[in-house]
Amino acid sequence: MASTNDPFQFQEFEEAGNLLEANRNATTISIEDDDIIPEKQRQAAGFSPDDEDALASDDKTELLSGLKKSVPFWTFEYYQRLFDVETHHVKERIIGSVLPWPGKNFIHVYLRKTPDLYGPFWICTTLVFAIAISGNISNFLVHLGKPNYKYTPEFQKVTIAATAIFSYAWLVPLALWGFLLWRNNKIINLVSYSFMEIVCVYGYSLAIYIPAVVLWILPYEWLRWCTIVVALCLSGSVLVMTFWPAVREDHPKVIIAIMSAIVVLNVLLAVGCKTYFFSKPQALPADKSAAIEVTKAPSTT
Amino acid sequence: QASADANRPFAGLSDVSISEDIPVEGDISVPVGPSARRDDEFSTLDEPVKETVLRDLRAVGKKFVHVLYPKRSTALLRDWDLWGPLLLCVTLALLLQGGAADSDYQGGPQFAEVFVIVWFGSIIITINSKLLGGTISFFQSLCVLGYCILPLTVAMAVCRIVLVAGSGSVSFAVRLVVVTASFGWSTFASTAFLADSQPANRKALVVYPVFLFYFVIGWMVLTFSPSQ
């Protein structure tokens, strides 16, 4: 049937068929057309099957990681990639940040090279509104029944809360990332985190504060301090366990400096929010500005 | 001779001729007759202004009905318009004014704050759903989110009326029930329109910001305290 005189004889299939017959256990990748050409070239060069396997897996991983080629950050596709998560991913990450397990590094276990911006952004936004609303409710409950108290929704507190939380969740990771980059130039580190991964860890570590802030509505000081301590321990341990491998090989002074900076900033944020937004149960002063002065200087703790 | 003929393709067609008794003539001009009338159907430049305004109002009203009885229909999505959301936003912001008249105490948000929260919030939710891979367009999403504020605006009007009667705990309980019901209605209506445009494993990720948005607006409606 195959007449080689006929110029229209389709010859490609025959060639491939002959090659496969010669090399029955050749690994063939059938993902894209790009794969077939290097495949054929390797077979033409006459490699043994073992080398071929190693090369095939090398090529496959290189091609797969090459599929995620970097897109410039001013395109929409760059940000779409950062939102490439599903509902159960977000749920797992939130649970992982709320219940830290010693040895389970958040970035390695949960993020696995795919940080997302959905979690950090919406957790921060929820926390901002939770703080503003809970602070408002707790103020109302504290002053309930007092004759000269006038309820006000205090919407300006939303902007203050938003500034505080978003700067913590974005500027501190920026500073930390810059610092780690600078240290990486001096000391070779096996572990290095990208900026998005650090932002992701910080965003998810704020998730524990949302139930804590709701609990602060109840005007009991001991309850508020208990929840603050628990939330600080959980979120602080997530952050410390995540960044420990990145600074482990460094000078001891630098390790202590970084770890204490991470913890201290966390404490400042929590205590600052509690002090500013949640007033202590005490006598209602005559006008509102005095109330803010008193809550800012807790000398009567 | 025969083989030569057979080798040449289309051999039999060279002796086709047109018979002379078949007329080759006709009219190839386009009929011009009713074109003047057709122009009138498509041009709305000559109609009275009342007609134009009424047509837009009818479109807005039809969408209000769709929000009040939310079914999974595509009418809201197909012909989006932003008149309805603008009308609702202005009404809501005006109803939220007239709080405590003291300069120190704020009984409610400023007019501009309501606008910023509604429009900025809608834009952020739309960007969020597009980043998650939604198939809905930017303005369609703004349209849906804006129209679904209708139940909360109605609740605000009801709250103002209840507050005229009194502002004790009974009125608070009534207002709480009304605001909760309308918040649920708004969220349900908007997810009925938006949910179809998302893949199934991300629906919750898109619904949560909508929930948060209407929760914040409901909070503003509920905590409005009148001047005394």
**Domain ranges, ordered by start, for chain A:** 108-277
The minimal CB distance from B205 to the residues A80, A90, A288 is found for A90
Specify the pLDDT at position B178.
93
Say which amino acid occupies A292.
I
Specify the pLDDT at position A284.
44
**Pair B122, B213: CB distance under 8 Å:** yes
The alpha-carbon gap from A29 to the nearest alpha carbon of chain B, in Å, equals 30
**Which distant-in-sequence residues (6+ apart) come within 8 Å of A230 by Cβ?**
A212
Specify the pLDDT at position B38.
52
Tokens of B214: 């209407």
Tokens of A29: 């990748």
Q: CA-nearest residue of chain B to A79?
A: B131
Specify the pLDDT at position A287.
43
Specify the pLDDT at position B191.
85
Specify the pLDDT at position B17.
67
Q: Is there a contact between B105 and A152 if contact means CB atoms under 8 Å apart?
A: yes
User: Mean pLDDT per segment of 10 residues, for chain A of length 301 residues?
Assistant: 60 55 57 46 45 48 54 80 83 86 76 82 93 86 73 78 90 90 78 85 91 88 90 89 81 86 90 83 47 49 45
Contact list, A126 vs chain B (CB under 8 Å): 212
Specify the pLDDT at position A54.
46
Q: Pick the residue of B105, B127, B171 with the most A CBs within 10 A to test the interface with A by mutation.
A: B105
Q: Is there a contact between B107 and A153 if contact means CB atoms under 8 Å apart?
A: yes
Q: Is there a contact between A155 and B109 if contact means CB atoms under 8 Å apart?
A: yes
The minimal CB distance from B131 to the residues A79, A152, A153 is found for A79
A vs B: CB pairs below 8 A: 67
Specify the pLDDT at position A9.
65
Tell the burial category of A220 from Cβ atoms under 10 Å away from its Cβ (0-12, 13-18, 19+): exposed
Query: What's the full length of chain A, in residues?
Result: 301
User: Mean pLDDT per segment of 10 residues, for chain B of length 228 residues?
Assistant: 60 67 70 54 76 86 82 70 90 80 57 88 90 85 90 92 83 91 91 78 87 92 76
Q: What pTM did the predictor assign?
A: 0.72
Compute CA distances B93 → A125, A291, B87, B124, B167, whole Å.
22, 29, 10, 20, 21
Cα–Cα distance, B173 to B176 (Å, whole number): 5
**Pair A238, A201: CB distance under 8 Å:** yes
Specify the pLDDT at position A43.
46
Q: Is there a contact between A152 and B212 if contact means CB atoms under 8 Å apart?
A: no
**DSSP-assigned letter for residue B21:** T
Q: CA-nearest residue of chain A to B99?
A: A152
Q: Is there a contact between A118 and B133 if contact means CB atoms under 8 Å apart?
A: no
3-state helix, strand, coil in chain B (%, to 5): 65, 0, 30
Q: Pick the residue of B131, B163, B228 with the most A CBs within 10 A to test the interface with A by mutation.
A: B131
Beta strands in A34-109 (DSSP E): none
Residue B110 φ/ψ region, left for φ over 0, alpha for ψ in the -120 to 50 degree band, beta for the rest? beta
The minimal CB distance from A126 to the residues B132, B205, B212 is found for B212
Cα–Cα distance, A49 to A60 (Å, whole number): 16
Q: What is the 3-state secondary structure (H, E, C) of B131-184?
A: HCCCCCCHHHHHHHHHHCCHHHHHHHHHHHHHHHHCCCHHHHHHHHHHHHHHHH
Give per-residue pLDDT as tens, B183-223. 999 998 888 877 777 777 888 888 899 999 999 999 888 88
